[in-house]
Chain A
Amino acid sequence: MKLAGSSALIVQNKGGGHGELGFHLAKQLRAAGCTVTLLNDGQPTAKPPFDHYNELEQEYVDIVWTDVKAQRDLSSVLKGKTFDLVFDNWSKDEGTVRPIAEFAKKNNVKHYMYVSSGGMYQPTGDEFPILEKTKVKDDSGQRQVEKTLEAMKVPWTSFRPQYIYGPYTNKRDYLDFFFDRVTHGLPIPIPYEGATLTTLTNAEDVASMLISAVGKQYAIGEVFNCASDRYISYEGIVRMVAKTVGKDPSEAVKSIVYYDPKRAALPKGAFPFRNTHFCVNPEKAKLLLDWRPQHRLEDDLKWYFAAYRSLGKLAGQVDTSADAKAIAARA
């Protein structure tokens, strides 16, 4: 099936790490000639990325706000519209996906794309990158969604992303942790060692992967890791951020303090990434969906830093309450 002339329903969650995917999906689908309805969970808000929704409205994206969980039948809030495609960036578990899946089936939706989570993987810790065949947590809500879609015989494809950033992100922790400390000349506490690898992906690339599956019958029933094809080390992020803000990268890494996270017992979220390697391999999507990431982190950090400055963060105070604990537990 072709995107041009098709109709797509995007179900978008309230925000967080996946918050701006709906925006980019809508934009890219409209650019491809698809009719788009963006069903946003909750009430209209000026929080990013939703403060940019007027851009979508100018592109004739139909934006609907509702309490998605409270809808027993989406047809009423969607005014009886029919859809060829569903992009589900909202469901969290079996209970929440069921009504959306039922709506999709009633509508004869041809392809149901689900934004799942790479966080469900349980690698042994010895082998990376993580492939789709890696063991996953049984109790993962997103895994339940995938199983439910399969059991309900919905034509589904699932995408498992890692950490997402973008121009309209409201979840800035991943990168601000580094920008805060590098720009303010603060020690940079990092668990264990700087060689630990993670992946950061531009939301536009996540969206384009979801769209690349449309019309590909062989993608139905498949899961795809959804991330950049470059993994970066923590000290690599420090060097990259330093370079972006005009500091000497080899000097910046001297501010890194390696700590033992077991002894430090930091509050959740004190460090934005995991204590150990965690990177998913997106090459199944590159090989089978002919998808390519268009963004490189090093290029994106330039506009990210510009946004950081315009939000007043360069001049602002940094919350280092957890840092002292980490430094006290240095390796």
Chain B
Amino acid sequence: MKSVAALWSMALCGHWLCGSSLAFLPPSPLSSSPLHRLRAKHRPSATLRMAADQPMKVLLIGGSRFSGLYLWRELLDRGHDVTVFNRGKTALRPIPGESASEFERRKSSTKFVTGDRKNLADLRQVASMQFDAIFDMNGREVDETKMLVDLFPNRLKHYVYMSSAGVYLKSDEMPHREGDAVDPKCRHKGKLDSEEYLRSINAPWTSIRPTYIYGPLNYNPVEEYFFERLAQNRPVCIPGHGQHLTGLGHVRDLARQFANVLGRPHAVGKTYNAGGLEAVTFDGVARLCAAAMGKDPSRVELVHYNPKDLDFGKKKAFPFRPQHFFTSIENAIRDLDWLPDYDNLEGLRDSYQNDFVIKQREGKLKNDFETDDIVLAAAKRDTRVPTLA
């Protein structure tokens, strides 16, 4: 267990863990609070930096779209030697916040290996290379994991696997904690099987289980769903009562958590949940997104509906399943010397300002409100108060 002193120094002043000096400050809007200013001053990272993050040779599978992309940047910033393996389908582009020269340096200092991870011949290209660690960011099925990790028997210090909190069995007791019952019938069974395989071969594995990841360049319309509607001053249609709590995690915090596994042998053989400190209700996500956009959250119009009453065809009407879905990140904080930098409002604001606004300007939003119109038409017809019961 990490020492309390390490946790304390990591917390710095003004963070949740060490709050007494600010305990008596009057409340104020987050953006101007002393708490926020102190934390901003201590960015880019609240993690405890080891005296020298021992540089490692790292293989990154994926790395082109979202979480892998930010991890790539984080690894380079820490002085690691990065090889990226992917199909090369996504054009290289700067990460929001990455300067032109940083982008150039990333491109020139990274080794690129092109291939399909489902193709053993393609993977063999990296088998002969030396790596201390592999970050497996886009594996879905156990065969994929097996094919990759079996190429490196006893050669790695770390095999870090992108899993999912979707493996947890739905529960009356929250939050989901590592070690809780998992759902063998879940959509993410492949990730569960992968974790199990890694465990069974005694690979130096660490698995990270995020809930919903968000942030600039999110290809999954999570925050975008809300921003699109609010930008059009449309009501936000929410399945159920709107009080289900969902965990959100900013992609930059996730990248730091992944990178923090390196050089921490006690993290080997463990799973760690990923996300922020506070979960949000569905209604709350709508309100926080409004606030992130500079709109008045109290003026957000919410329409609740029972999803069982309506037929959306093949379309997905809402980004979250109507159940509680959030995790405890206590073990990651303790073992990985890591704390999230972003709270939900700051994170959503980052995504809005550095991604949505640009997409909006470039006319790249889908603005597909077909499912909303189905909900709203039904709401007009039916004046009963909707419940999920």
CB-CB under 8 A from B100, the residues of chain A are: none
Distance in Å: Cβ of B313 to nearest Cβ of chain A: 27
Judging by beta carbons under 8 Å apart, are B389 and A194 in contact?
Answer: yes
Please count how many residues in chain A sit with their CB below 8 Å of the partner chain's CB atoms. Answer: 48
A1 at the interface (CB under 8 A from B): no
A180 at the interface (CB under 8 A from B): no
Distance in Å: Cβ of B315 to nearest Cβ of chain A: 25
Contacting B at CB under 8 A, from A230-276, are 230-233, 235-237, 239-240, 256, 258, 260, 276
Instruction: Please report the C-alpha to C-alpha distance between residue A258 and residue B389 in the assembled complex, in whole angstroms.
Output: 8
Judging by beta carbons under 8 Å apart, are B387 and A197 in contact?
Answer: no
A-B contact count (CB 8 A): 121
B388 at the interface (CB under 8 A from A): yes
Judging by beta carbons under 8 Å apart, are A133 and B35 in contact?
Answer: yes
Chain-B contact segment, one of A9-17, A44-52, A94-102, A218-226: A218-226
* Chain B contact surface mostly: loop
Closest-by-CB residue of B relative to A222 is B20
B312 at the interface (CB under 8 A from A): no
Distance in Å: Cβ of A221 to nearest Cβ of chain B: 4
B280 at the interface (CB under 8 A from A): yes
Judging by beta carbons under 8 Å apart, are A133 and B4 in contact?
Answer: no
CB-CB under 8 A from A146, the residues of chain B are: 23
Closest-by-CB residue of B relative to A256 is B389
Closest-by-CB residue of A relative to B242 is A193
Contacting A at CB under 8 A, from B90-142, are none
B270 at the interface (CB under 8 A from A): no
Closest-by-CB residue of B relative to A216 is B4
Judging by beta carbons under 8 Å apart, are B284 and A125 in contact?
Answer: yes
CB-CB under 8 A from B16, the residues of chain A are: 131-133, 284
Distance in Å: Cβ of B325 to nearest Cβ of chain A: 11
B277 at the interface (CB under 8 A from A): yes
Closest-by-CB residue of B relative to A132 is B19
From B1, B22, B27, name the one whose CB has the most chain A CB atoms within 10 angstroms.
B27
Contacting B at CB under 8 A, from A268-314, are 276-277, 281, 283-284, 286-288, 290, 297
Judging by beta carbons under 8 Å apart, are B24 and A150 in contact?
Answer: yes
Judging by beta carbons under 8 Å apart, are B243 and A192 in contact?
Answer: yes
8 Å CB contact of A193 from B19, B344, B387: B387
> B-side interface residues toward A, CB under 8 Å?
1, 4, 7-8, 16-24, 27, 35, 171-175, 177, 240-241, 243-245, 277-281, 283-284, 287-288, 323-324, 328, 330, 333-334, 344, 385, 387-389
> A-side interface residues toward B, CB under 8 Å?
124-129, 131-133, 135, 146-147, 150, 192-197, 216, 218, 221-223, 229-233, 235-237, 239-240, 256, 258, 260, 276-277, 281, 283-284, 286-288, 290, 297, 331
| 5 smallest beta-carbon distances between A and B, as pairs | A236-B172, A126-B284, A221-B20, A127-B278, A230-B173
